[in-house]
Structure 1
Amino acid sequence: MALATLHIMALLLLIFLLLIIWQQSERRRRLPPGPGTLPIIGNMHQMIWNKPAVFRWIHRLLEEMNTNIMCLRLGGTHVIVVTCPKIAREVLRKNDEVLASRPATFASGSFSFGYKGSIFSPYGKQWKKMRQVLTCEILTSSMEQRLRHLRSEECNHLVRYIKNMARPNNFVDVRYVAQHFCCNVIRRLVFGKRYFSDDIPASSTSGPGHDEVAHVAALFTALNHLYSFCVSDYFPALVGLDLEGHEMVCKNVMRVLNRFHDPIIEERIRERSTTLGNGGEKKEARDFLDVLVYLEDADGQPLLTLEEIRAQTMEMMFATIDNPSNAVEWALAEMMNKPEVLQKAIDELDIVVGKDRLVEESDIPHLNYLKSCIREAFRLHPYHALNLPHVATADTTIASYTVPKDSHVILSRIGLGRNPKIWNEPLEFWPERHLNTGNVLLSEPGLRFVSFSSGRRGCPGISLGTSVTMMLFARMLQGFTWTKPPGIERINLQEGNASLALAEPLVLHAKPRLAAHLYI
């Protein structure tokens, strides 16, 4: 018995000495400040305790510690969060190459078919290949111009659809309209169709059908599960046990999305084989899927595999729907409580565009006040609290702190956009703060807030994202007079507990304000 006690005491002493050595090693590396950690699990217990609103716990820690950079340890992974524009520029400029990778997680691996796309793939040959496809073939100015008619048709459908709902005792769910508009646009651009059923023409003025509702719901569910601090993301040995139900949700989402996407993709591949097999020539691309399917390598063989096409198709959907719809809903909600801001935006539309025609993409450069409203929504009300994580491929230094290899570095969207050291009255919706240039842009190179990010992993679709966001916003403001439901004096601007979206969808009454023939 005495010998066993001695063994236990010796083991405890060894653990204690190892812990001291480890802590001294951590100090020598001069990691960014952070809360105390436990051996092996680090801060994992605190993260689990604060689910599902992990981002709120992170920002409470940042505020309590009064720091612009903080290091958490989740399992064996250092997670470094940044809320200062100067440090953010170090991350995405000075350290851009060493921080250009992405972490491997169950969700990102599932949604990218094993990292075959561009957004979630680790830095390497596959990412470079798909990034080049996006920048040189898909998101080019010539392709944007070629498919302009599809975006224009969706904008016309938007005003017709709202007009059909704009009855005296009827109200419009702005979130529903905004999300489905964004998804309609990207489905038209990717697949050439708004509806999955061929029985419904694209010119139909009806709203989304059952399939389209399920499609949007699956896409947003996927977005909400990406990089969502799942325990198995930091302890890969737990993958398969599905302790949080995370894996089942991801699998269900993929079943829904594949059910809608795969028949279209496979049919287009068969069409290509038939056309080229019979000696036919490639036709001008009708949509993004045509581009992906008909791309050839140096030997005249298909450049992309089926899995790469599926992955890139999926990622283009993810990249288009959340930020535009969320920004427009929040901007309109804020403006309903600030009628003077709403009136300035309407006055700008009436001066720049007039009331005899509908606003077009060519008007966007001249709508500086509207763009300022959207910039302010991006700043104050991002859809995601944290940017997609960057993984360090080697030891590096940020703000004089050591960032060890394999660390996850994350920019805080709300930490930057609501930083009181950068913005006066940061919680106030004040578009005028952005009217300091001749041509207001939705991008923010100085990283005082994050809209399209920057660097190697920055969004290559800034022009498309700007068009989708601004046309949704401008058409809604120009085409309709928006009023609050009876008995509602102010719109409740409360955020959801586990997200930054409005806790309740914005519901308003819409009344047409233009000549009747413009809605036909």
Structure 2
Amino acid sequence: MAAACIDSYLLGGAAVLLVTLLLSRWIFRKPRSRLPLPPGPRGVPVLGALHLVGESAHSNFARLAASYGPIMSLRLGSHLCVVANDASAARAFLKTADAQFAHRPDHISARDVSYQRQNLVMSDATPTWKHMRKMCSLHLLGGKALADWAPTRRAEFRRLVEAIRRLHEDGEPVPLFDMLICTLANVVGTIAVGGRVFDDYGDESNKFKDVLSDLLTGGAQFNVGDFFPSIAWMDLQGIQAKMLSVHKRFDALVRRLFDEHQRTRESRRGSPDFIDKVMANNESEDGTAISEVNVRALISDLLTAGTDTSSVVVEWTLAEMLKNPAILRRVQAETEAVVGRDRLLEESDIPNLPYLQAVCKEALRLHPSTPLMLPHFSHEDCEVGGFFIPKHTRLLVNVWAIGRDPAVWENPLAFDPDRFLPGGKGAQYDPLGSDGSFAFIPFGAGRRSCAGKLVGMLFVQYLVGTLAHAFDWEMPEGEEEIDMEAKPGLALPKAVPLKAFARPRLSPAAYV
């Protein structure tokens, strides 16, 4: 009897304690905002609005924004997602609420390829992430670092020109995208790990290109497991297995480069490459350390972002110029007036080539390499643009729609570089974001903007200028119509890769 009374007393006490805790949480809880969620489609049970997204999420979001406004919310499976579709919406999230949205969501399908989120791209805004980004700014992607590595870019771009010239002599068309991938991989490899990745364009570089394609295509698929974590283990679409396979193939290359880098570090004493500098300064002042896994993940980031995205934009730019030959001829006339016909274009020539710069800006506006910024993730409740945004909300910024907004861009679907020349209606917009308008953000904005935007812009301008100045281009006979469809993915490459004949147009001495 006594034991029963004790048990009853304990149960009663526990119940009182539980009720007290619940009441105190209710009384002292932070009041939820009375502001509404952003408008958006209601969706269907369980799936939410997943069926409205599709492969071309950027264009479908833009279409939905016409009905629901520039800031809209969608329930994607078990997750709430908000989408910013114009400049004002992007500014509200990436400037006003930048700190609240500094993290990344934990995409199950991206865990393997991001080294369990220990890379620069998919990590949360942790102290390690901040230290890695600081190392990149100091030793790789900032202004001084760009100047230090100029000879490497010059050497590899000249190799590209020579390879294209040999194809002309053999009567072969130029598989431009494939050759750009090889060239930029060698630039990144030499700068980052002290050596070229490929001896020359060919089978090995094409295998690398295929892995990149699988990574960027698979990474853009809407994986059921990402939106219904409870059934992620089933991998219903096979995406997680595919991404693991991609990771293993890509990491094999990264490990080979890293191991060779470690074996040869004594040979670089006195002239360290980027990874040497990272490993020599791997610990920050507050004790945050960059691990070997972080370093391998960083090499993977550099090989991905430093090759594919720039190659996509350069290919689109040349395709637009071939579709509009007057634009190509105008670029050639400008480069010839500044550079002449007796040497190749140099980086130092670019500031004196305003029309070339305008052409590259227009290509970035119409064909951003990343149509949707990589997703952000809120870590606390916040209010944005007059709406309530609860914590754990995913944010997508529609760069593609912002660059085609008819409220900002006159005749937005036309490829018109003149809009970026002095006096043009787009002249005030800077693709690097210095104008503060958020109307032209091909490299993103805010603290999670592309760390390599300076070098990305330089790659595009230098390559487009070199290709236009050094060669005349024409499509193969019977293929004058250029397919301008894009292939869905994290990047938007041409669905049909560009192949064109190149004919040297400079004096022979320029190619020596």
Give the alignment's TM-score, normalised by structure 1: 0.84
Measure, in 1, the Cα distance between the counterparts of 2:438 and 2:401.
Answer: 11
Q: CA deviation at 1:302?
A: 11
How far the C-alpha of 1:464 sits from its partner, in A, is 1.4
Q: Which residue of 2 aligns with 1:216?
A: 209
1:296, CA displacement in angstroms? 4.8
Partner of 2:246: 253
Secondary structure of 2:313 counterpart: helix
The 1:459/1:195 distance shift into structure 2, 3 A limit, reads closer
How far 1:497 sits from its partner (Å)?
6.1
Q: CA deviation at 1:322?
A: 2.7
Alpha-carbon shift at residue 258 of structure 1 (Å)? 1.5
Q: Are positions 1:283 and 2:270 aligned together?
A: yes
Contact 1:349 1:478 in 2 (8 A): yes
Contact persistence 2:142–2:454 (CA under 8 A): no
- Gap change, CA 1:440 and 1:472, over 3 Å in 2: farther
The yes-or-no answer on 1:398 pairing with 2:384 is yes
C-alpha separation in 2, matches of 1:373 and 1:89: 26
Equivalences for residues 9-88 of structure 1 within 5 A = 29-44=35-50, 46-47=51-52, 51-63=54-66, 65=67, 67-88=69-90
Q: Is the 8 A contact 2:128 2:290 kept in 1?
A: no
Say whether the 8 Å CA contact 2:94–2:445 is kept in structure 1.
yes
What RMSD, in angstroms, separates the aligned Cα atoms of the two structures? 2.7
2:211 and 2:249 in contact (8 A); partners too: yes
The Cα of 1:493 is off from its aligned counterpart by: 2.0
For the structure 1 residues 26 and 169, does the alpha-carbon distance in structure 2 shift closer, same or farther, using more than 3 Å as the test?
A: farther
The correspondence of residues 47-446 of structure 1 with structure 2, limited to 5 A, is 47=52, 51-63=54-66, 65=67, 67-167=69-169, 169-196=171-198, 200=199, 207-269=200-262, 282-285=269-272, 287-297=273-283, 303-436=289-422, 442-445=431-434, 446=437
- 1:193 is paired with a residue whose SS is coil
Alignment partner, residue 461 of structure 2: 470
Q: Structure 1 residues 193, 270: closer, same or farther in 2, change over 3 A?
A: closer
Deviation (angstroms), 1:87: 1.5
Q: Is the 2:376–2:394 Cα contact (8 Å) retained in structure 1?
A: yes
- Structure 2 residue ranges without an equivalent (≥5): 1-30
Picking from 492, 496, 503, the partner of 1:504 is: 496
CA contact (8 A) 2:131 2:284 kept: no
Change in CA separation of 1:459 and 1:54 when aligned onto 2, cut-off 3 Å? closer
Q: Is the 8 A contact 2:366 2:415 kept in 1?
A: yes
Contact 1:107 1:227 in 2 (8 A): no
2:505 to 489, 494, 513: 513
Asked if the contact 1:368–1:440 (Cα under 8 Å) also holds between the matched residues in 2, the reply is no
**CA distance change for structure 1 residues 175 and 298 in 2, over 3 Å: closer, same or farther?**
closer
- Give the drift of 1:462: 2.4
What's 2:20 paired with?
A: none
Structure 1 residues 489, 145: CA separation in 2 closer, same or farther (over 3 Å shift)?
Answer: closer
Q: Secondary structure at the match of 1:308?
A: helix
Amino acid in the other structure paired with 1:224: T
Distance in 2 (alpha carbons) for counterparts of 1:162 and 1:358: 14
Q: Determine if contact 1:282/1:294 at 8 Å carries over to the other structure.
A: no
Q: In 2, Cα distance between the equivalents of 1:56 and 1:412?
A: 9
Query: What SS class does the counterpart of residue 511 from structure 1 fall into?
Result: strand
- Distance, in Å, in 2 between the alignment partners of 1:247 and 1:469 is 33
Structure 2 CA distance for aligned equivalents of residues 513 and 440 of structure 1? 33
TM-superposed CA distance for 1:85, in Å, is 0.5
Deviations 1:111-160 (A, max 9, x none): 22122222211122222222222223332333322222111110110100
1:189 counterpart letter in structure 2: I
Contact 2:345 2:469 in 1 (8 A): yes
Distance 2:169 2:225 in 1: 50
- What is the CA deviation profile of residues 343-396 of structure 1, one whole-angstrom value per residue up to 9, with x for unaligned ones? 111111011211121111111222211111111111111233211111111112
Who is 2:17 aligned against? none
The residue type equivalent to 1:443 in the other structure is: L
The change in CA–CA distance for 1:441 and 1:163 in structure 2 (over 3 A counts) is: farther
Amino acid of the structure 2 residue aligned with 1:492: D
Greater mean deviation of Cα atoms: 502-511 or 491-500: 491-500
- Of the structure 1 ranges 493-502 and 377-386, higher mean CA displacement relative to structure 2 is found in 493-502
Distance 1:28 1:93 in 2: 23
Q: What percentage of aligned pairs have identical amino acids?
A: 29
Q: Of residues 454, 459, 462 in structure 1, which corresponds to 2:450? A: 459
Counterparts of 2:428 and 2:505, CA distance in 1 = 28
CA shift, 1:61, in A, is 2.1
Paired with 1:347 and 1:442, the residues of 2 have a C-alpha distance of: 25
Deviation at 1:417, TM superposition (A): 0.8
Q: In structure 2, how many angstroms separate the alpha carbons of the residues matched to 1:288 and 1:71?
A: 41
Following the alignment from structure 1 to structure 2, what is the Cα–Cα distance between the partners of residues 259 and 403? 41
- Determine the C-alpha separation between the residues in 1 that align with 2:146 and 2:316: 27
- Write the deviation string for residues 226-263 of structure 1: whole angstroms up to 9, x where unpaired: 35321111222223321111112211111111211112
